[in-house]
Amino acid sequence: MKIKLVGIIMLLNSLLFSIELIDADRIVQIDRAKLQNYNKIEITTQRNKDGEEKNDNWIGIKITDILDEFKVTNYDKLCFISSDNYLVRISKEDLLSNESILALVRNGKNLDDEHIRLVIPSIRDMFWIQDISTIKTETISDLPFPHTIHFAESILHQTQIREELPPFVKVSGYTFTEIMSSAFPFLKDEILIVGKDGVKHNLDYDNYLKNAVLIKRDNSLDLRSPDMPAGMWIKDLAYVQIFDVAVIFINHFSSLEDVRSLLDWDNFPEKVILHTDEKTEKHISSEKFNFGIWSKARWLEW
Amino acid sequence: MVRMVKLASIVVIVLIFIACSPSNLILTGNIEANTKITYEGKFDEILDVVAPNAKYALLIGTDGTAVLLTSQSFSNIYIQKNNSVWDSKATNLPAVCNIRNLKEICIYSRIPNNNNNFADRLNNFEFLGQSSKNGYYIRKYKERNGDQF
């Protein structure tokens, strides 16, 4: 009886499985049976996982074959979202120039629906999202170059540290919203979050960051949110940008040149206008943060 | 009695004239209340007079389409009046900045005159995407009310 019940549940699960492909106003459902009909390719990957060399053989469907079938061409990035809200973005260039597949078989074993995953050999495996529920096209290009940059430390100094940050326990820090609302005219829509190690997420405020907290760890802050899978939390938060305004955590940088390097900025102004509580001065943008007025600056613009 | 009828007719004519005359374009946000645009021109020059510290502007059409601009884009927008409606025209910015029949422009001012009404107003809109042209970035929105969305 128990076995029958499990069988029925598995059958129902399988019938319920589908990946939603969203392209502009069009939504297409792709179920497992549909996936089985595509041509398959085989690829091998080598990666280092927790200090261990892992070699895998994958059989799957080229992502471009799925896009071609539905004539999806007008996009800059594909956004893959899992059932537990994990999210990765892959650029069109990466998808077209690499053997990016939706893997159905790993080392000869068929993958369960929730383990069907994106595999792109030349991209770090943290982007190989599984349990994919949605694939969404995005035409949004890069963010504007920030016109105003706030120094997070000046905001933190004026904010009372919290000893309780539910649902997280035995931590202290701040809420994301209380710190960022001091710098940004609005907290809404897409927000770029960057860690010191260069990990970047472009996240929707309401879905991911509204309940986020900044947890103090030594001289650094980690970003965690109950609305984000733990794999997406940012260690050593270094940079936040909404539209053309940014916040930097200067303890991770020695100068704006470091910020430029982390963010891959092409353009860079030669001079910036620094604002402190007392005065406003024009300075060379390559000066070190521990030099003169920089250590007292609250924000800058150009 | 005749005099009363004449007077009433004049009042009615004046009221009709006022109703039919082109209205001013309302500016909202964290700026002084009851600010309006009363004449056509380059957007940056108009704002220099009515909202000199404006950093963002949300141009809102009567169909609920809206575009968020930064102050760097203001000089590329022309606000014009056609018959009784206000339009925005821009050639150097993404095409969506050409909005026909503007109903309101919501301003975020660096030096606020009241609470952050700009953020409150923006929260009534659904984000549709971001685009750029000639290095100018804009965000496109759609108003969330009734059948407009």
Residue A302 in contact with partner chain B when CB distance is under 8 A = no
Residues counted in chain A: 302
Closest CA to A239 of A195, A272, A204, A274: A195
ipTM strictly over 0.90? no
Q: Name the H helices within A83-239.
A: 92-97, 152-157, 176-180
What's the pLDDT score for residue A223?
97
Amino acid at B92: N
Degrees to nearest 5, angle at CA B130 with A298 and B125: 85
Task: Note whether B70 contacts A243, CB cutoff 8 Å.
Answer: yes
User: In chain A, whose CA is at the least distance from the CA of B68?
Assistant: A243
Q: Are A251 and A235 in contact (CB under 8 A)?
A: no
Cβ contacts (< 8 Å) between A139 and chain B: which residues?
129, 131
Cβ contacts (< 8 Å) between A143 and chain B: which residues?
130, 137
How far, in Å, CA of A299 to CA of A251, rounded? 15
Cβ contacts (< 8 Å) between A189 and chain B: which residues?
127, 139
Residue B127 in contact with partner chain A when CB distance is under 8 A = yes
Q: What is the mean pLDDT of each run of 10 residues along chain A (302 residues)?
A: 56 68 87 90 87 90 93 85 84 80 94 92 86 84 82 94 95 96 91 90 89 94 91 93 95 94 85 93 92 89 89
Q: List C-alpha distances in Å: A71 to A30, A68, A74.
A: 14, 5, 9
User: How close does chain B come to A211, measured CA to CA in Å?
Assistant: 17
Cβ contacts (< 8 Å) between B56 and chain A: which residues?
185
Cβ contacts (< 8 Å) between A244 and chain B: which residues?
70, 72, 137
Up-side HSE of residue A163: CA atoms within 13 Å toward CB? 0
How far, in Å, CA of B103 to CA of B148, rounded? 14
**Which one of B55, B123, B129 has the shortest CB-CB distance to A188?**
B123
Q: For residue A96, how many other CB atoms are within 10 A of its CB?
A: 11
**Which one of B122, B123, B137 has the shortest CB-CB distance to A244?**
B137
Q: For residue A3, how many other CB atoms are within 10 A of its CB?
A: 7
What's the pLDDT score for residue A198?
87
Q: Are A298 and A151 in contact (CB under 8 A)?
A: yes
Return the residue in B74, B93, B109, B127 with the most chain A beta carbons within 10 A, the one to mutate for interface testing: B127
Residue A112 per-residue DSSP state: P
Task: Note whether B118 contacts A243, CB cutoff 8 Å.
Answer: no
What's the pLDDT score for residue B147?
43
Chains A, B: CB pairs < 8 Å: 44
**Which one of B119, B132, B139 has the shortest CB-CB distance to A185?**
B119
**Ramachandran area for residue A189 (φ above 0: left; ψ -120 to 50: alpha; else beta):** left
pLDDT in tens, chain B (149 residues): 556 666 566 555 555 444 444 589 999 999 988 899 999 999 999 999 999 999 999 999 999 999 999 999 999 999 999 888 999 999 999 888 999 999 999 999 988 887 778 999 999 998 877 778 888 999 989 898 644 33
**All domains of chain A, ordered by start, with CATH?**
17-138 (3.90.420.10), 148-301 (no CATH)
Return the residue in A25, A75, A138, A140 with the most chain B beta carbons within 10 A, the one to mutate for interface testing: A140
DSSP string over A157-197: HTSPPBS-BTTB-S--EEEHHHHHTTT-S---SEEEEEETT
Cβ contacts (< 8 Å) between B72 and chain A: which residues?
147, 244
How far, in Å, CA of A274 to CA of A302, rounded? 9
Q: Are A55 and A46 in contact (CB under 8 A)?
A: yes
Q: Each residue of A49-67: b (16+ CB within 10 Å) or e?
A: eeeeeeebebbbbbbeebb
Return the residue in A188, A204, A207 with the most chain B beta carbons within 10 A, the one to mutate for interface testing: A188
Degrees to nearest 5, angle at CA B74 with A265 and B101: 125
Cβ-based burial of A232 (10 A; exposed 0-12, middle 13-18, buried ≥19): buried
What's the pLDDT score for residue A200?
82
Q: Which helix (H) or strand (E) holds A77?
A: strand A77-82
Residue written as token pair 């004239």: B17
| Predicted TM-score (pTM) of this structure | 0.73
DSSP string over B24-68: PEEEEESS-TTEEE-S-EEHHHHHHHH-TTEEEEEEEETTSEEEE
